[in-house]
Structure 1
């Protein structure tokens, strides 16, 4: 069993590293661009960042000063048995370490503030970007995978900013200071200490060339796992209905195993760093002790003193420690960059098309909408072709046809979730491309087949239609939607907390709440997507009655799956393959005895 596991692991390593090679060509370019974007956020806190760097500079100087004073005490006082002045030097040593500790505290305190502010701004901007992206972006991606970018990837950046920025600055300064003092004290011992650098360099290069791409794969696999979990949790009813628990578990197991393997190799390879550094550190100590001892004996202390050897052993540790920390922080930095790249991929996505320069606000509308030879295609696929119809103020227009006929696409064009390619759509005689999207949608309300309720009270869910509405207006909307009675039957009435899926109330009751929300919005244009499907007869009658109140005096567009619900429509449009096959009222289409007649029969 163990041999099989190892074989599978190394087989994965071979497969995974072939994927890793895909990242090599653009790795440096992407890393530079990502670091530049992170810096753009960091420099918003330039004042505090300067203070952090100042404290790092002070702490690095005093960290180097401590061992130097210890060496001086050995050579100038202890070795020659001179006590006069030793107490003063020890007091100075205490002051050095107090200042060193204080500067460490301040630099960490300010850096935490900087990182939290940076991550706050980054998370805020990413969330705002989600709302700028077009609907098509979310249609093509798992929501859980996008959530992973907002949570895991940004947390990864946060952790790295807290740890790495200070450590990198401190390590570089400590390294430069250590080498300078070592050269001043003994060039020979400095050369001995630095002889380990080539081994260290090639070791780190071998490791980081593998861990960087592996961290990217790890973040990708983590997003894949989160996306799948979100999808399956949302679809639990379907999973249980078809008894597919074993299947989805096996699918999750594959994704989870992929994440485990990627994380295993990323952490295993990066875990070589402290082992290599410790080995080189011990080797450096041995070499300094041997060479230093030989120099002390052969030169009778003229070239090197015992105090100098003590200083060098401490500085050798301070020389390898920053190199070790730089290597470790570089791995953390690679992990953060992998997460940051995924965040900035979303940030760099083209948002929903901005309003045209001459787009206007419409304070009011009659709801008179005209399609004139409208065609639309998405990603080279033609979806609508030469669509023409007119919806006068207060009329009800129904769209019927088989799945894929283009019904939902027409609705998306009306609400400008997509822009048509040719032809023209006008509202009250104004091309809708000349109307600001926010202004256009402000006059619309949607009641869809798949109800969506936010986590919160019933009152808050209804108020979402018009945030400034009073409690009295909310209750009146609930009464008009036939929802008031069932709300009062609940223990907390309008203050009843609903989960996102509205658990605790029926599907029909959820639909009544969405109708109340639409009523509260007081729209001039109403879009309905078969709001009565999968509803019991009694609730359906309540919904139909509420919908009649809702549609009264409003221009309504209805996607119909049950044709008996649209008999009273002013115009019914029969669609097939993105084209209008028939249009007219119910009686006219029945008299034609064409496709609508056949579908109705």
Structure 2
């Protein structure tokens, strides 16, 4: 965020101020230099004596000061990150009584940024003084050698007087460039950080000649799929064929790769080995934009934008009518609480939906995915924050809306899992069981053990063993 806001603001100074003013200064120096040579070439050469030292000063300034400003910008980024965390996590800070700790953390970063800026500015001032000193020597040389030449009758007093006026015009833009160089180095340091982001290659890119994917039927196939995070295996040799319109539930212990397996469908990642196909087409051969038009998702961590309720529901479908928005909200069990809000569907919900409860945010996310009306729907713990009564309200609607739509559900609630056409049980990154609830209970394997253990402890929920996967 600091690179996108602060660094681009500094970069704007380069384009709007530094470059135009530098061009004007250089043109002024060149024009005045021509006039100096026309008046007296010998004195003009004396005027140029300090120029090599000034150039060396500029070069040294650029090499020494620019890294210091870059470091200062980096410290500002750290400060902004901590401030953002403190604002977003204000309740957690208060609950755990960590105000003093966070105050010290912010103070350390403020002092770090202040120290970095002070070091950069003070070093810059030293170079400014040195360059201004050399620029002043030009005038001293003209007065000294011009006076000697006047005593010998080689130049008139009038020429020396005019020459001195032009010398002041000659060094004035040079000293201006000296001061401008500070802004230039700040802008270049910021542009270095900004272009580091722009030059970063995305993890997932469209292959050359990637085809546009039309509306799919929804058949999803995993062929020998393996995946690892930084060398740590997560999925191993997954082979699975999901029929169009089929509802699949992915269950298993924490960290077995349920979410990772689902995230391969919208191609948030590419498999380390094997391939994922949709309607028989390898996902890596189609454009990601056309693929995403065929996939709706409700993630574990719901993200809502700082806008109205209606704007958030229609985020993926900007052309949706109010009637379509209301229908989607009704199907997700959200219409009732929305109408109780001060402005109904036009109520602002604040940044990240701060004015809504967890259950309300998830129901809006479900409504948003339903309105998007993609043939493939992924629900990653989509009902985790919805109470039993609300879940019952949306159960029949979900059953109706999943007709003709391939649905992949990651859930720990038994009521959600039982509705699936097929349950896929993962353990240590591999598929160890699959079938309906009744079939898996009859087998008496891992699924049955987890369900029975959960029933004894919670009376109906699949417990922590069925917590969200990676």
Give the alignment's TM-score, normalised by structure 2. 0.87
Q: Which residue number corresponds to residue 459 of structure 2? A: none
Mark the CA change 1:319 to 1:241 in structure 2 (over 3 Å): closer, same or farther: same
Alpha-carbon distance in structure 2 between the residues aligned to 1:199 and 1:445: 65
Alpha-carbon distance in structure 2 between the residues aligned to 1:541 and 1:311: 94
Contact 2:216-2:294 within 8 A present in 1 as well: yes
Q: Which residue number corresponds to residue 257 of structure 2? A: 406
Partner-residue secondary structure (3-state), 2:188: helix
For residue 225 of structure 1, report the CA deviation from its aligned partner.
2.2
Deviations 1:141-177 (A, max 9, x none): xxxxxx2222211111111222221232233233233
Partner-residue secondary structure (3-state), 1:372: strand
Q: Which residue number corresponds to residue 233 of structure 1? A: 87
Q: Which of 304, 307, 311 is the equivalent residue of 2:155?
A: 304
Q: Which residue number corresponds to residue 55 of structure 1? A: none
Q: Which runs of 5+ in 2 are unaligned?
A: 454-470
Q: Which moved more, 1:177-186 or 1:410-419?
A: 177-186
Q: Which residue number corresponds to residue 372 of structure 2? A: 521
Contact 1:515-1:550 within 8 A present in 2 as well: no
Q: Which residue number corresponds to residue 190 of structure 1? A: 44
Alpha-carbon distance in structure 1 between the residues aligned to 2:134 and 2:221: 78
Q: Which residue number corresponds to residue 154 of structure 1? A: 8
Q: Which of 438, 449, 452 is the equivalent residue of 2:300?
A: 449
Alpha-carbon distance in structure 2 between the residues aligned to 1:429 and 1:282: 77
Specify which structure has the bigger relative contact order, considering alpha-carbon pairs within 8 angstroms and separated by 6 or more residues: 2
Q: Which residue number corresponds to residue 500 of structure 1? A: 351
Alpha-carbon distance in structure 2 between the residues aligned to 1:188 and 1:398: 90
Given the alignment of the two structures, is residue 491 of structure 1 paired with residue 342 of structure 2, yes or no? Answer: yes
In the alignment of these two chains, the number of paired residues is 452
Given the alignment of the two structures, is residue 458 of structure 1 paired with residue 312 of structure 2, yes or no? Answer: no
Contact 1:508-1:540 within 8 A present in 2 as well: no
Partner-residue secondary structure (3-state), 2:352: coil
Alpha-carbon distance in structure 2 between the residues aligned to 1:432 and 1:200: 59
Contact 1:273-1:324 within 8 A present in 2 as well: no
Contact 2:298-2:379 within 8 A present in 1 as well: yes
Partner-residue secondary structure (3-state), 1:501: helix
For residue 564 of structure 1, report the CA deviation from its aligned partner.
4.4
Q: Which runs of 5+ in 1 are unaligned?
A: 1-146
Contact 1:208-1:270 within 8 A present in 2 as well: no
Alpha-carbon distance in structure 2 between the residues aligned to 1:148 and 1:570: 47
Q: Which of 234, 237, 246 is the equivalent residue of 1:383?
A: 234
For residue 278 of structure 1, report the CA deviation from its aligned partner.
4.3
Partner-residue secondary structure (3-state), 1:498: coil
Q: Which of 401, 408, 411 is the equivalent residue of 1:557?
A: 408
Deviations 1:318-356 (A, max 9, x none): 232232233333332222222222222222222354434
Contact 1:277-1:320 within 8 A present in 2 as well: no
Mark the CA change 1:244 to 1:562 in structure 2 (over 3 Å): closer, same or farther: farther
User: Quick check: which one's helix share is greater?
Assistant: 1
Deviations 1:11-70 (A, max 9, x none): xxxxxxxxxxxxxxxxxxxxxxxxxxxxxxxxxxxxxxxxxxxxxxxxxxxxxxxxxxxx
For residue 239 of structure 1, report the CA deviation from its aligned partner.
2.8
Mark the CA change 1:361 to 1:200 in structure 2 (over 3 Å): closer, same or farther: closer
Alpha-carbon distance in structure 2 between the residues aligned to 1:234 and 1:547: 33
Alpha-carbon distance in structure 2 between the residues aligned to 1:544 and 1:304: 101
Alpha-carbon distance in structure 2 between the residues aligned to 1:439 and 1:171: 52
Partner-residue secondary structure (3-state), 1:505: coil
Q: Which residue number corresponds to residue 207 of structure 1? A: 61
Contact 1:515-1:546 within 8 A present in 2 as well: no
For residue 251 of structure 1, report the CA deviation from its aligned partner.
2.7
Alpha-carbon distance in structure 2 between the residues aligned to 1:254 and 1:483: 45
For residue 264 of structure 1, report the CA deviation from its aligned partner.
1.0
Alpha-carbon distance in structure 2 between the residues aligned to 1:305 and 1:209: 44
Alpha-carbon distance in structure 2 between the residues aligned to 1:228 and 1:448: 26
Q: Which residue number corresponds to residue 105 of structure 2? A: 251
Mark the CA change 1:550 to 1:240 in structure 2 (over 3 Å): closer, same or farther: farther
Partner-residue secondary structure (3-state), 1:251: helix
